[in-house]
């Protein structure tokens, strides 16, 4: 397999480092607007002849096509902010390459009733052209990070092996990460954080379909494992709600994120004063998007690792009837300790956890264990080979049996 990764930020760089330990591919090109950043990613991957650094503007379709001509990839991995999805996705389609992303095409809220019904949902524009990918006999694997991604693999595993019928599938993402000396420091791209947290969250219910609510709605206290403990989680727009109902029979799908009151208050203030805007404003003759200004002011998430402490946990909470017909409530999860990741890999926990999963998916595709054509989510593939490889990569997952009355956890590997 020949791999091209577009984007050498935190996730793209971590993908390179993780892949360097495996032998399932013959070449790995990584490209970025800043070629020196791509070069640093190659250097961090070690002295490996398979890796090359390139320069590309991910918003420029012609430049992307020239890069494909130069690198001859079998698969293009999109490790950019999702605002760059369309040109990368279109380039893969036009050049008949397989495609993989970790965050799907952006949504556009319904202009008339944004907190009641969805407009253009996350990934709608990708799924709309699935037939073209089928005709080209190529695969676009969308939403293949940690969440979405591993969370969707957990959903498929629970459906196939643990439940006879499913009431709710709710992805719950939380942790106890802190950053020394920084009062407001998102551990992921501020562009992505704002899109997820300030857009209307989407919920899916059988018989009703997809509908929206207000940002940060339906707060609940969720008991995270591995010593993290109870964290307040709120509704956030996320791809799993769009993906899981397409493949898995259940009554309800939600996504809730453990943001914390202080973090939510900061995001609400940014929205109130317009600093979440992505359209450019005139500042004494200069034109800048307020969100780009924020990105420039805030610390680079990829470089926060040595100041971060704690754990991040991604998992899928499932309720329903077990294989024995009795009520069952489980949390399938993957937990990562930041200090451990910095010591082993030199990458902070959130970006490393995101980057691990596309590498595993690429290995499964290279071996033929996973295969398909069209635009597909992780739920379209058998989960067990993925979870087995996750353990083989040295990063085990676990299942928590939950007591519905007390919300207590009983962890089992």
Judged against a pLDDT cut of 60, whether residue 288 lies above it is answered with yes
Judged against a pLDDT cut of 60, whether residue 411 lies above it is answered with no
Judged against a pLDDT cut of 70, whether residue 406 lies above it is answered with no
- Look at the domain 2-101 and name its fold: Rossmann fold (3.40.50)
Judged against a pLDDT cut of 50, whether residue 413 lies above it is answered with no
Prior bond of 148 cis (ω within 30°): yes
pLDDT the model gives residue 404: 62
CA 219/CA 205 separation, integer angstroms: 18
Q: What is the pLDDT of residues 270-280, one digit of tens each?
A: 888 888 888 88
Q: What is the pLDDT of residues 338-368, one digit of tens each?
A: 999 999 999 999 999 999 999 999 999 999 9
Mean pLDDT of the chain: 93
Average confidence (pLDDT) over 60-68: 97
Quickly list DSSP for 332-388: EEEEEEHHHHHHHTSS-HHHHHHHHHHHHHHHHHHHTSS---EEE-GGGS-HHHHHH
Q: Which range among 24-28, 144-148, 189-193, 381-385 shows the weakest confidence by mean pLDDT?
A: 189-193
CA 171/CA 183 separation, integer angstroms: 27
CA 244/CA 249 separation, integer angstroms: 8
At residue 40, φ and ψ (nearest 5 deg) are -65, -35
Q: Provide the CATH number for the domain formed by 150-350+396-412 in this structure.
A: 3.30.360.10
SS3 320: strand
Q: What is the pLDDT of residues 33-49, one digit of tens each?
A: 999 999 999 999 987 89
CA 33/CA 56 separation, integer angstroms: 5
Domain boundaries, the chain: 2-101, 150-350+396-412
């Amino acid at each position: 397999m020949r791999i091209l990764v577009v984007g050498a930020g935190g996730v793209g760089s971590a993908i390179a480092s993780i892949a360097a330990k495996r032998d399932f591919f013959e070449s790995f090109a990584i490209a970025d607007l800043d070629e020196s950043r791509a070069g640093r990613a190659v250097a961090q991957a070690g002295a490996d002849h398979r890796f090359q650094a390139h320069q590309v503007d991910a918003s420029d379709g012609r430049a992307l096509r020239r890069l494909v001509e130069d690198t001859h990839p079998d698969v293009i991995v999109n490790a950019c902010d999702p605002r760059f999805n369309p040109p990368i996705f279109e380039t893969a389609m036009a050049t008949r390459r397989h495609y993989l992303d970790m965050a799907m095409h952006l949504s556009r809220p319904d202009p008339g009733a944004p907190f009641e019904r969805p407009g253009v949902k996350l990934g709608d524009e990708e799924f709309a052209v699935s037939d073209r990918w089928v005709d080209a006999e190529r695969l676009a694997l969308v939403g293949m990070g940690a969440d979405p991604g591993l969370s969707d693999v957990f959903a498929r595993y629970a459906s196939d092996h643990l439940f006879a019928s499913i009431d709710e599938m709710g992805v719950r993402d939380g942790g106890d990460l802190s950053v020394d000396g920084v009062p407001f420091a998102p551990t992921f791209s501020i562009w992505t954080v704002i899109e997820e947290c300030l857009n209307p969250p989407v919920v899916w219910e059988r018989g009703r379909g997809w509908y929206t609510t207000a940002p940060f709605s339906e707060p609940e206290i969720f008991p995270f494992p591995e010593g993290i403990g109870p964290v307040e989680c709120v509704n956030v727009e996320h791809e799993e709600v769009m993906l899981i109902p397409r493949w898995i029979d259940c009554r309800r799908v939600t996504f809730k994120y453990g943001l914390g009151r202080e973090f939510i208050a900061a995001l609400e203030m940014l929205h109130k004063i317009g600093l979440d805007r992505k359209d450019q404003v005139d500042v004494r003759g200069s034109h800048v998007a307020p969100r780009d200004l924020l990105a420039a002011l805030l610390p680079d998430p990829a470089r926060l690792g040595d100041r971060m402490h704690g754990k991040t946990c991604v998992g899928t909470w499932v309720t329903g009837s077990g294989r024995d017909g009795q009520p069952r409530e489980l949390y399938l999860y993957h937990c990562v300790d930041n200090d451990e990741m910095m010591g082993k890999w030199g990458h902070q926990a959130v970006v490393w956890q995101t980057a691990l999963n596309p590498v595993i998916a690429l290995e499964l595709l290279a071996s033929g264990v996973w295969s398909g054509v069209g635009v597909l989510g992780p739920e379209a593939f058998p989960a067990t080979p993925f979870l087995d490889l996750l353990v083989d990569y040295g990063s085990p997952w676990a299942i928590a049996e939950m007591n519905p009355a007390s919300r207590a956890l009983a962890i089992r590997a």
